Amino acid sequence: MCKINFDFLISHAKVYGFIFPSSEIYGGLNAVYDYGPHGVELKNNIKKFWWKSMTQLHENIIGLDSSIIMHSDVWHASGHVDKFNELLIDNKDSKKRYRPEILIQEYVEKNFLNNPKKKEEILSRLFQSLQNQNLGELKILIDELCICDPIFKTKNWTEIRHFNMMYKIKNEKDLYLRPETAQGIFSNFHNILKSTRIKIPFGIAQIGKSFRNEIFARKFIFRMREFEQMEMQYFILPEEEIKWYEYWRKNRLKWHLELNLENKQSYKLCDHDHLAHYENVGSDIEFHFPFGFKEIEGIHSRRDFDLKNHEFFSKKKLRIFESKRNYIPYVIETSLGLDRLFLAIFSSSLKKEKLKNGKIRVVLKFPYYLSPIQAAIFPLVRKDGLPEIAKKIFYDLKIHHRLVYDEKESIGKLYRRQDAIGTPFCFTVDYDTIKTDTVTMRNRDSMKQKRIYIKEISNIIEQETGLKKIFKKLSYFI
């Protein structure tokens, strides 16, 4: 196995139609990306997998699709107008913006590798300043350490200030693009209670776009300005907060492990020591991306923070009334970044393998059920009636499965192309097909081939690449 570097990964994603830089013909746009023909299939499969895991496997979790633009009071009630801020520092020469805590962290990582005591001392000062929101002390740290602009190498810094990360809609007083999908769930809490017969504990799941004006947007699709979240808010009795928080922490980690990316060591559960404005306790599931361990999903106890504030701002009752009790439920939230999960799956699946003949093959070893294309159908040669048989198989089966038909190159090149986009199976029609009604079936990972009957193809695709197998496993721990 040969090592893959991050630039190669980005280039592979573009060349094979997974991810394109947005507006590329106009020079691109920082931290915004488009999903190409294979990218959108993979993304839709991930969404379907998460959605069904949440709503189909849990009978008490239901779905919602709320709007991106909401009443401005939603964001006052949720605390995002006042508190959804990052710290910001500008370099007056390069005119670039940075997050001061990241400048300090990166400086310390680079310069005090062999001096753990000094590193510890600076990180502890950084932590204290962040905890106390002491912006003056943060600036002193930057000056003391003589931290320069990474590009211009000058120390001509502005003061540090707060910067709200929501995108305001121009010409619309006080309207924003949503920075999290969760508020659509809280503001529909009453409608959902009234329109269903769901009882506590229950969850509401949603997949949708969120927008954040990220100052420090980089690392490909890891941190974007427009991204998608897959969130679930679980409404519970207040006295059961810790029980359900622990349940969802474990349940979500198990779900990630079942994806079987790399190995168990690729995941970490980390408790938050810096809490978001809405959470009482929280943790992150971190994944080992090509640039190190980083957050992929957050699990937060939001208690009654959101519903209580929406009650206050809307003057509507957002409560549960049951057996002489009247209360605002607590909420445990699971919040997964769809694009980050995409990157985790893509980066851990992309392999360069040295073959016996010394050549290198590039292969995307996606979990079968997530692959953009489930199977490819080829004729061995473009003559003697083989394309006609292969096309018939393709037309008969394409209503059931995500398939491609290809005959444009030699069989070896057709296999390599399917490897590079992660297709688990290739079925080839050859001269024996005419006599025996069989085709060769080639497996992406082992590259081994065997003969099967044409009538078996559909079942094999369904069994090997459908969601049934993985759902059977998942349903054991739900």
Q: Is the distance from CB of 386 to CB of 398 less than 8 angstroms? A: no
Residue closer to ligand GAP, measured from CB, 209 or 473 = 209
Nearest CA-CA partner of 65 in 168, 191, 161, 205? 205
Considering the complex, what minimum distance in angstroms separates the CB of residue 281 from ligand GAP? 14
Considering the complex, what minimum distance in angstroms separates the CB of residue 255 from ligand GAP? 14
Stretch of 63-71, 290-298, 354-362, 417-425 lying at the interface with ligand GAP (CB under 6 A):
290-298
Edge-to-edge strands of the sheet including 161-164? 97-98, 85-90, 161-164
State the pairing for strand pair 438-443/449-453: antiparallel
Closest CB to ligand GAP: residue number: 337
Residue closer to ligand GAP, measured from CB, 185 or 370 = 185
Q: Which of 224, 373, 386, 461 binds ligand GAP (CB under 6 A)?
A: 224
Q: Is the distance from CB of 163 to CB of 88 less than 8 angstroms? A: yes
HEC string of 181-248 equals: CHHHHHHCHHHHHHHCCCCCCEEEEEEEEEECCCCCCCCCCCCCCEEEEEEEEEEECHHHHHHHHHHH
Residue closer to ligand GAP, measured from CB, 31 or 441 = 31
Q: Which of 36, 298, 367, 422 binds ligand GAP (CB under 6 A)?
A: 298
Under the binding rule (CB under 6 A), the answer on residue 86 touching ligand GAP is no
Instruction: Pick out residues in 172-201 that bind ligand GAP (CB under 6 A).
Output: 180, 182
Residue closer to ligand GAP, measured from CB, 179 or 424 = 179
Q: Is the dihedral of CA 156, 162, 166, 171 positive or negative?
A: negative
Stretch of 14-22, 293-301, 375-383, 430-438 lying at the interface with ligand GAP (CB under 6 A):
293-301
Nearest CA-CA partner of 252 in 295, 288, 305? 295
Considering the complex, what minimum distance in angstroms separates the CB of residue 214 from ligand GAP? 5
Q: Which of 33, 98, 107, 227 binds ligand GAP (CB under 6 A)?
A: 227
Nearest CA-CA partner of 313 in 186, 226, 410, 144? 186
Stretch of 261-269, 291-299, 373-381, 469-477 lying at the interface with ligand GAP (CB under 6 A):
291-299
Residue closer to ligand GAP, measured from CB, 160 or 224 = 224
Q: Which of 229, 283, 423, 465 binds ligand GAP (CB under 6 A)?
A: 229
Nearest CA-CA partner of 55 in 476, 471, 473? 471
Considering the complex, what minimum distance in angstroms separates the CB of residue 266 from ligand GAP? 15
Residue closer to ligand GAP, measured from CB, 337 or 367 = 337
> Residue 399 and residue 293: Cα distance in Å, rounded?
41
Stretch of 146-154, 225-233, 259-267, 389-397 lying at the interface with ligand GAP (CB under 6 A):
225-233
DSSP letter (8 states) at residue 175: -
The total number of residues written for the chain in this structure: 478
Q: Which of 86, 297, 306, 419 binds ligand GAP (CB under 6 A)?
A: 297
Q: Which of 231, 241, 306, 311 binds ligand GAP (CB under 6 A)?
A: 231
Considering the complex, what minimum distance in angstroms separates the CB of residue 31 from ligand GAP? 8
Residue closer to ligand GAP, measured from CB, 227 or 248 = 227
Residue closer to ligand GAP, measured from CB, 228 or 430 = 228
Considering the complex, what minimum distance in angstroms separates the CB of residue 152 from ligand GAP? 26
> Residue 90 and residue 158: Cα distance in Å, rounded?
5
Considering the complex, what minimum distance in angstroms separates the CB of residue 310 from ligand GAP? 15
Stretch of 238-246, 294-302, 383-391, 458-466 lying at the interface with ligand GAP (CB under 6 A):
294-302
Under the binding rule (CB under 6 A), the answer on residue 306 touching ligand GAP is no
Under the binding rule (CB under 6 A), the answer on residue 295 touching ligand GAP is yes
Considering the complex, what minimum distance in angstroms separates the CB of residue 99 from ligand GAP? 13
- β-sheet bridge partners, residue 23: none
**Contacts (Cβ under 8 Å, ≥6 apart) of 117:** none
21 prior amide bond cis, ω within 30: no
Considering the complex, what minimum distance in angstroms separates the CB of residue 162 from ligand GAP? 17
Residues in contact with ligand GAP, shown as a per-residue x/- string from 310 to 349 under the rule CB under 6 A: -----------------------x-xxx-xx---------
Q: Which of 13, 185, 296, 345 binds ligand GAP (CB under 6 A)?
A: 296
**Contacts (Cβ under 8 Å, ≥6 apart) of 89:** 97, 98, 99, 100, 103, 139, 142, 157, 158, 159, 160, 161
> Residue 176 and residue 286: Cα distance in Å, rounded?
29
Residue closer to ligand GAP, measured from CB, 149 or 339 = 339
Exposed, middle or buried, 71 (CB in 10 Å: 0-12/13-18/19+)? middle
CB atoms inside a 10 Å sphere around CB 218: 11
Q: Is the distance from CB of 259 to CB of 367 less than 8 angstroms? A: yes
Number of residues lying near ligand GAP (CB under 6 A):
19
Q: Is the distance from CB of 324 to CB of 361 less than 8 angstroms? A: no
Residues within the interface to ligand GAP (CB under 6 A): 180, 182, 212, 214, 223-224, 227, 229, 231, 295-298, 333, 335-337, 339-340
